[in-house]
Amino acid sequence: MPDAGPDRATARKAIALLTGAAGFTEHRPPPSPLPPDGPLGWAGYDAARERASARTGEEESVLYGTGVVGDRACVLLSFEFDFLGGSLGRQTGDRMAAAYELALARRLPLVALVATGGSRMQEGMIALTQLQRVAAASVRLRAAGLPQIAVVRDPTTGGGWATVGAGADVVLALPGAQVGFAGSRVRPPDADPYAYSAEGQFEAGQVDAVVPADELTAAVTHWLRALGPHEDLPAAPVPRALSVAGAPVPRALSAGGTESAAGAGTGAGAGTGAGAAKGSGAGTGPGAGTPSAADSGPAVPLPETGREAVARARDPRRPRAEAYLADYFAVRLPLHGDRSGSTDPGLLCGFGLRGDGQPVAYVAQCGTPTRPAGYRAAARTIRLADRLGVPVLTLVDTPGAANDAGAERAGAGAAIADTFAAVAAARVPVTTLVIGEGGSGGALALAAPDNTHVTVDSYFSVIAPELAAAILKRPPSETGATADQLRLRPQDLVDLGFARSIVG
């Protein structure tokens, strides 16, 4: 187990960092004494426990109870690393299981402040099986629709990381923390230490955010407000359109199938101009989206032809997902990564708080081909929102799913299928706004079947006009006519019953 550091916060200091003057009420489970020297009769184990207790003032490696973070009541579970390396024994498991049961009984979210070296070897298999107890308690909390947030401190390794840490709905990490299943003494000697750090785990999509200690209270408060528990939240309002008023309408597809307006994008790589994704950092904005932009109808002229609709959607001046999210939310809380070792910077997802405080989960494409990691992150977000009763907003804008060999090896088909399934199974309302390109199934996977709206500078098509012309063995000069035939304009999508309204 890692050595205790002189500057490592105690379990109680970690709690006080979040609760401040609001305080903390500690709970204890019913007494359940261990046999002398523990279940294995490990010589010196009782003496080691006594020394740890004298050093820390604690009876075990975890403590739990109720507290208030910001303005939100919750159950707090905090690890004391200086008590035998924060390791998990049977009495640790008693306390952890009791913490989950307390959250369940009071219908409160659970916030775990984790710092552990793993299972306690002096208790052998009895210690290891505590991981099963924690997993079962976590499942019961999930089934009740109650959120779990983990703050992983230094270090968080072994079974503690693999259950209460990585198993949480949202994982926040303190900068520089050692985080990983393999502790420093059991990993290969030539292993890259960055892979076992908070920053490395964030890069790999295993941690949602790396949060400095002085920002932790605000971050956890926002997450508690967003995740609930909630009751009967309304559907996410349709965002207002952000089309550039008065901007020249881009020219239609030329004979070669590309936009002839200066600076216009072409092909699958288009759509990465101003407002494109800049990673997954949290953002704040006015959150001034209209209550129902769909009711106002389009103020910007509709495209007259299919080729004009495609050209508008590919115009680099058109606002992208970042601009829409900044306008829609007062506070944004990104979820990062697919929990399978990958990320997709072209898809943004997370939870946000509107100006009136309403929580909404979001999944937003940024105009690039969506990769398998993006679809897996989208499905993760939608399922979490559904379990917690939070409505979902999706912003569709992609020329299609990534189709390179790497995407196929990463399971593009399965990832897209899982996203379709997550949307189809959602019990919470899902609201979709198509803000740019709607490229075939890679876009449709994120569209709500009965609640999709479109902007005036968007299109949706079974296939890109260029690809359709190629498949039909038409010359490039007929690409524009093919776009017209596909009936992909915003008004066509309403007439066909795919879209409910046009905003803009």
Residue 106 is predicted with a pLDDT of 98
> Are the beta carbons of 465 and 486 closer than 8 angstroms?
yes
Helix (H, G, I), strand (E, B) or coil at 269: coil
Residue 297 is predicted with a pLDDT of 56
CA distance 312 to 465: 14
> Are the beta carbons of 131 and 88 closer than 8 angstroms?
yes
Beta bridge partners of 480: none
| Identity of the amino acid at 500 | R
Residue 44 is predicted with a pLDDT of 97
Cα Dmax for the chain: 87
116: part of which helix (H) or strand (E)?
Answer: strand 110-116
The HSE-up count of residue 493 (CA atoms within 13 Å, CB side) is 33
Tokens of 385: 């929102």
Residue 276 is predicted with a pLDDT of 31
In 327-349, which positions are buried (b, 16+ CB within 10 angstroms) versus exposed (e)? bbbbbbbbbbbbbbebbbebbbb
Residue 187 is predicted with a pLDDT of 87
Beta bridge partners of 62: 79
Alpha-carbon separation of residue 172 from 19, 166, 206 (angstroms): 17, 10, 10
Regarding pTM above 0.85, the answer is yes
Residue 296 is predicted with a pLDDT of 52
> Are the beta carbons of 307 and 253 closer than 8 angstroms?
yes
Q: Please give the chain's pLDDT, 504 residues, in tens.
A: 344 443 589 999 999 999 998 889 999 999 999 999 999 999 999 999 999 999 999 999 999 999 999 999 999 999 999 999 999 999 999 999 999 999 999 999 999 999 999 999 999 999 999 999 999 999 999 999 999 999 999 999 999 999 999 999 999 999 999 999 988 888 898 889 999 999 999 999 999 999 999 999 999 999 999 999 999 999 999 999 886 643 444 434 433 333 333 233 323 333 333 333 333 334 444 444 444 555 455 568 999 999 999 999 999 999 999 999 999 999 999 999 999 999 999 999 999 999 999 999 999 999 999 999 999 999 999 999 999 999 999 999 999 999 999 999 999 999 999 999 999 999 999 999 999 999 999 999 999 999 999 999 999 999 999 999 999 999 999 999 999 999 999 999 999 999 999 997
